[in-house]
Amino acid sequence: MDTPSLKDIVKSAEFRFNKALGQNFISDKNLLDAIVADSGVTGEDTVVEIGTGGGTLTRALAAVAKRVYSFEVDENLKKVLSVSLQGVENAEVIFRDVLKMSDAGIRDIAGDGFKVVANLPYYITTPLVMRFLESDLGVQSLTVMVQQEVADRFVAKPNTADYAAITLAIEMHGSAAVTRRVSRNMFYPVPNVDSAVVRIDVNGTKLAGENRELVHKLVRAAFAMRRKTLANNLSVAFNIDKQTATDRIVSAGFSPLVRGEALSLDDYVALSRLF
């Protein structure tokens, strides 16, 4: 027997969407399969999904992956999921807030070494991506549906308006690419923004031997006040006088008036060696 449509399941379970939890679900089978293809998940892979929702992406992932652990905060979805995930043997839904769990807690459930796939509530995008990138869990990649403007920031180039501290924070851990743009009309209910899928392939040895914390601190400082020069921002964040900050910037090979948005990750690494 075919699984009933998501709309029918939601209706018969009398499920009420919770806007505050970013509940905009996807039911289009082609789009779900495309996201799974974008993620590069194969039969060898364990997947950690964040935000099970109606379970449609969970089902599509389970059809390809070895095993799926899907985290969801809203227990009101239990009735919906008991129907939508009926017969899916290799997926488990865990009703917990993944942002409040330790690495050890996640490892106890999903083990070490997995791919993260998520159609995210937009307000947790950045903390969630950084939580997994900075974890010690052997995350191989993250494939995330995010608001289009956020996707543009994730993959921006230096000297563009979208280039931000988060661009460099992601680049410190791997490489990001937008795999597809997704119209708001593909979601149910329809949100008021368009989305994009971004895949980040993690490279655990990136910045090996460098002081990662210091590079991160420099990047955060450099973008703290975007309209100020790098020297200004660094003198505030590192509690040094402006001349000392300028001298270090010049020693690293940059103009004394350079702004943070002009520097690449390699440039920040070079600068970190003078701090």
Number of other CB atoms surrounding residue 192 within 10 Å: 6
**Residue 10 engages ligand SAM in binding (rule: CB under 6 A):** no
Among positive and negative, which fits the CA dihedral 160, 265, 213, 51?
positive
Question: At how many degrees (to 10) do helices 212-222 and 230-237 cross?
Answer: 120
Q: Which is nearer to ligand SAM, 81 or 230 (CB)?
A: 81
**Residue 22 engages ligand SAM in binding (rule: CB under 6 A):** yes
**Residue 98 engages ligand SAM in binding (rule: CB under 6 A):** yes
Q: Which is nearer to ligand SAM, 7 or 273 (CB)?
A: 7
- # binding residues, ligand SAM (CB under 6 A): 23
**24, 46, 126, 232: which one binds ligand SAM (CB under 6 A):** 24
**Residue 99 engages ligand SAM in binding (rule: CB under 6 A):** yes
Q: Considering only residues 52 through 71, tell me which ones interact with ligand SAM, judged by CB under 6 A.
A: 52-54, 56-57, 71
d(CA 171, CA 163) in angstroms, rounded, equals 11
**Residue 33 engages ligand SAM in binding (rule: CB under 6 A):** no
**Residue 72 engages ligand SAM in binding (rule: CB under 6 A):** yes
Structure tokens belonging to residue 169: 């924070």
Coil vs helix vs strand at 201: strand
Look up residue 161 and give its amino acid.
A
**9, 26, 31, 263: which one binds ligand SAM (CB under 6 A):** 26
Q: Kindly report whether the peptide bond that precedes residue 189 is cis, defined as omega within 30 degrees of 0.
A: yes
d(CA 161, CA 1) in angstroms, rounded, equals 51
Task: Residue 12: name the closest of 20, 3, 22 by CA.
Answer: 3
**Residue 233 engages ligand SAM in binding (rule: CB under 6 A):** no
Task: Residue 200: name the closest of 273, 129, 150 by CA.
Answer: 129
Q: Considering only residues 198 through 217, tell me which ones interact with ligand SAM, judged by CB under 6 A.
A: none
Query: At its nearest, how many Å lie between ligand SAM and the CB of residue 215?
Result: 28
Interface with ligand SAM (CB under 6 A)? 21-26, 50-54, 56-57, 71-74, 97-99, 119, 121, 124
